[in-house]
Chain A
Amino acid sequence: MVIVMCLAGTVYGQETASVKNTHAGEISFGVRTTGSLFSSSGNYFGVGAGWQVRYRIDDKLGSEWFADWITTDIGGFGYRYDAHIGESMIIYLLKKPGQKMRFSPYILGGFCGDYTKIQTNLYFDDEQQMYLKQSKDRWSFATQLGLGTHFNFTERFDLSFSGQYVLHFGKDIDSHHATNSHGEKYLQIEKQGSALEGHFFFTISANFVIADLSRK
């Protein structure tokens, strides 16, 4: 990864956006830390990590291609795993976004493909009279919409913050609490029918322009 970044940094020419006064054609690579909140599994905060690539179509419009993996502790009774691979379009709200040491607020929205798995912790099962765990998973599609902003440390490097609401379309996978004969609470997972399911999705990312495809 470091070698690829080195090559990209070396190949990238001297003519930066500051010279030509436009960001059209720029490709950025970024790392992202993500958080997920308020899913159907409850109000639990999940932490994730991922990577992203941005392509800037023009000064007011960009696209962000991302992949990340999030794990959420469901109140000490189980875990939820979410993987997202998708794309968001970015519409900038300022006339001249991307200026050094300035914020560049934007609206973003798009779609993604998702994999979700819910797994219980070990629990005592009354029927089988032993400790066991269960898990169920599903694939789904989702749309997302939200707000964000870059903070441009330099012409080529920014730190970005965004919050989106993500709406999943797919099989319904749900969990709720039950109590066994020992009086211990445990998680029961059900997968049935289709359902809409939403959650909030927060991202902090650091991004660097590694190439410029346009002839400015």
Chain B
Amino acid sequence: MKKAFIVILFLPLCAIAQDSQRFITKGLFAGKGTLAAGQMTAFKATNMYISGNLEYYLEDNISFRGGLYIFLGSSGSKHPLSKNSTCFTGFYYHFKTNNHLDPYIGLEPGISWTQLKSPDKPPTETYPYNISSYPQSISPVASITAGINFFATKWTHLFIEAKYLHGVLVSDIPAIPLNEFRFAFGFGFNINTLKRRSPQ
């Protein structure tokens, strides 16, 4: 039932895109802003972010992107972080299609601004969380991203993407893994900065 629903949801996108002007070309400048969720692999915690990025298509199928994830907080009683904002830069490869769908994968190293959450009830916390001085720190992280854009009009697009992030939080207690799956979807703006090539 779920699969059928998803297929029905996406069919109109493919149909709309078959016979209209293609926007995914070199020179496309796109920006996204949305809310994102992150599921940490080592903790039962869901992180929440405001995320945004700017992206420029250097070729029809290669883009460069710079992005931010600003940490808003976590849900779940076992969340370890009070700060976990990340800045990424990286390149993306876009698979060629004959419509306005734009599937992509990307490699984005980045840096995370992190801090352990001080315990709500310090005496009840177990070692080593009860002795940390909870310093703020900068941690390098690695990430890979996969997603899909739908360029609905000349100026706007929709997107959905998933990112896996790998890194460790450095502090003054044993390392806390920052490994996390982040998900985002939403709406973005785009503009083509180069004169469109005439069809051949």
A9 to B25, CA, bound (A): 13
Pick from B26, B58, B91, B174: contact of A121, CB under 8 Å: B174
Which of B58, B133, B139, B141 gathers most chain A CB within 10 Å? Answer: B58
Kindly state whether residue A99 has any CB partner on chain B within 8 Å: no
Give chain B residues whose Cβ lies under 8 Å from the Cβ of A73: 168, 170, 174-175
A10 to B193, CA, bound (A): 9
For B141, list chain A residues within 8 Å (CB).
Answer: 47, 49
Tell me the nearest residue of chain A to B55, going by C-beta. Answer: A2
Complex CA distance for A168 and B54, rounded to whole angstroms: 39
| Chain A residues positioned under 8 Å from B26 (CB to CB) | 9
A122 near B: Cβ within 8 Å? yes
Is residue A33 contacting chain B, with contact meaning CB distance below 8 A? yes
B110 at the interface (CB under 8 A from A): yes
How far apart are A152's CB and chain B's nearest CB, in angstroms?
12
Cβ contact of A122, chosen from B91, B132, B140, cutoff 8 A: B132
Task: Using known A-B contacts A73-B168, A122-B173, determine if residue A50 contacts B59 with beta carbons closer than 8 Å.
Answer: no
Which A-chain residue is minimally distant from B178 (CB atoms)? A47
Distance, CA A51 to CA B170, complexed state (A) = 21
Contact digits for A134-156, partner B, Cβ 8 Å, 1 yes 0 no:
00000000000000000001101
* B80 interface residue per 8 A CB criterion: no
A18 to B59 alpha-carbon distance, docked (Å): 14
Query: Which residues of chain A from 38 to 91 have a CB within 8 Å of any chain B CB?
Result: 47-51, 68-71, 73, 76-77, 79, 81
The answer to whether A48 and B140 touch across the interface, beta carbons within 8 angstroms, is yes
Asked if A49 meets B111 with Cβ closer than 8 Å, knowing A2-B55, A76-B175, the reply is yes
Give the contact stretch, choosing among B11-19, B43-51, B62-70, B150-158.
B62-70
In the bound complex, do residue A5 and residue B58 qualify as a contact, i.e. CB atoms below 8 Å apart? yes
Residue of B26, B64, B65 ringed by the most chain A CB atoms within 10 A: B64
B122 to chain A, nearest CB (A): 13
A121 to B127, CA, bound (A): 12
In the complex, A178 has a CB within 8 A of chain B: no
Q: How far is the CA of A68 from the CA of B89 in the complex (A)?
A: 13
- Closest-by-CB residue of B relative to A69 is B140
On whether A33 and B174 interact (CB within 8 A), knowing A49-B142, A206-B91, the answer reads no
Pair B64/A2 contact, Cβ less than 8 Å: yes
| A31 contacts B by Cβ under 8 Å | yes
Complex contacts, B64 vs chain A, CB 8 Å: 2, 5, 9, 208
Instruction: Tell yes or no: B39 within 8 A of A by CB.
Output: no
Query: Does any Cβ of B come within 8 Å of A37's Cβ?
Result: no
Binary flags per residue of B103-147, CB closer than 8 Å to A gives 1, else 0: 000011111000000000000000010011100000111100000
Q: In the complex, what distance in Å separates the CA atom of A10 from the CA atom of B195?
A: 11
**Chain B residues at the A interface, C-beta cutoff of 8 Å:** 26-27, 29, 54-56, 58-59, 61-62, 64-66, 89-91, 93, 107-111, 128, 131-133, 139-142, 166-168, 170-175, 193-194
- Interface residues, chain A, with chain B CB atoms under 8 Å away: 1-2, 5-6, 9-10, 30-33, 47-51, 68-71, 73, 76-77, 79, 81, 119, 121-122, 131, 133, 153-154, 156-157, 159, 204, 206-208
28 residue pairs of the A-B complex, CB under 8 angstroms, read A2-B54, A2-B56, A5-B56, A5-B58, A6-B193, A9-B56, A9-B64, A10-B194, A30-B91, A31-B89, A31-B108, A31-B109, A32-B109, A47-B140, A47-B167, A49-B109, A50-B109, A51-B89, A69-B111, A71-B168, A76-B175, A121-B128, A121-B172, A121-B174, A122-B131, A153-B62, A153-B93, A204-B142
